[in-house]
Amino acid sequence: MKSLLPKKHKSKQVTIEPVGVVFPKMRAAEIGAAVAGARTGRDFCDSFRVNAMRVVFALLEFSGHRHQQLRVFPIVQHALRTAAEELLYAAEVNETEALSELCLRLNRSIIEAAGTAHSSPAFIACYNEDLGTVCYFNAGHTPGLVRHISETSELRASGLPLGLFSHTTNEASIIALEPGASLILVSQGVMETTAKGERFGLRGIEAAWRSSGAGSAHDRCLSVLRAAQHYSDTRKPHQGLTALALIRTTS
């Protein structure tokens, strides 16, 4: 099987840059993202602060044409931010119930904005700075990977992608991040990068994540995207490859 880590002798000219989102500053944690290729992909990435202790982050994919994306993404962002700020602002809110309701509202907004059923895999999460926990739902998206101190766990999909059925909802779950732990999300395109018919997949993502060192969240996203690019058996630049990372620092 082809190596899952970057090879220095390859030199593909691929633009890898930060996502066009201003990530909030966090206490004892950091969030960042990067995209490979031109920004003409189907990925929507966002992060914002809801209150003094909660930060929401999201990675969503929309399979429509570019003109549909340009129309739908602003609507999705507004719906996401409006619902999150309403549902998660109160200090004593039940986060799992709030995320489930957010899922329902966002699902309906996508259907309304698209004008028809439209598959939109989504990973939406809320990081609680006071507790060091991530409350999330994975609606048909690629699994999130959490690198703990001694092991790695997968945050797998618990339901269908958004945008298909008006009453679809996904159960929210909570995972704790101990100091030094990190979480990475990638778009489907990263998973499906191939070489000789074999996908980069979760194995490649985990290998690249483990070898990314102790840099910033953005730098570690770069490492994963570069690894996927080097793994690919085509020299054609990919588009819409996105990685988003959350790191809980040790201080």
> 130-177, pLDDT tens digit by residue?
999 999 999 999 999 999 988 999 999 989 999 999 887 789 999 999
**Comparing C-alpha atoms, which of 133, 222, 125 is closest to residue 179?**
133
For residue 34, report the phi and psi dihedrals to the nearest 5 degrees.
-150, 155
Q: What is the pLDDT of residue 62?
A: 85
Alpha-carbon distance of 154 to 156, in angstroms, equals: 6
Convert the pLDDT of each residue in 54-78 to its tens digit: 999 999 998 767 777 778 888 999 9
CB 237 within 8 A of CB 218: no
Alpha-carbon distance of 154 to 146, in angstroms, equals: 6
Q: What is the pLDDT of residue 133?
A: 98
DSSP 69: H
Q: What is the pLDDT of residue 19?
A: 53
Rg (CA), the chain: 17
Residues 6+ apart with CB under 8 A from 74: none
Q: What is the pLDDT of residue 13?
A: 39
Q: Which residue has the tokens 């009453």?
A: 167
pLDDT grade for 17, boundaries at 50, 70 and 90: very low
Distance of CA 91 to the CA centre of its chain: 25
Is the pTM higher than 0.85? yes
C-alpha separations of 146 from 22, 111, 210 in Å: 23, 31, 11
Distance of CA 79 to the CA centre of its chain: 18
Most confident range (mean pLDDT) of 3-17, 87-101, 208-222 is 87-101
**pLDDT for 14 beyond 70:** no
Q: What is the pLDDT of residue 177?
A: 97
CB 7 within 8 A of CB 230: yes
Q: How large is the average pLDDT for residues 176-205? A: 94
Tokens of 251: 């201080």
CB 206 within 8 A of CB 145: yes
Supply the mean pLDDT for the chain.
Answer: 87
Q: Assign domain 16-248 to a CATH class.
A: alpha beta
Tokens of 158: 């618990």
Q: What is the pLDDT of residue 175?
A: 97
Q: What is the H or E stretch that residue 86 is in?
A: helix 66-88
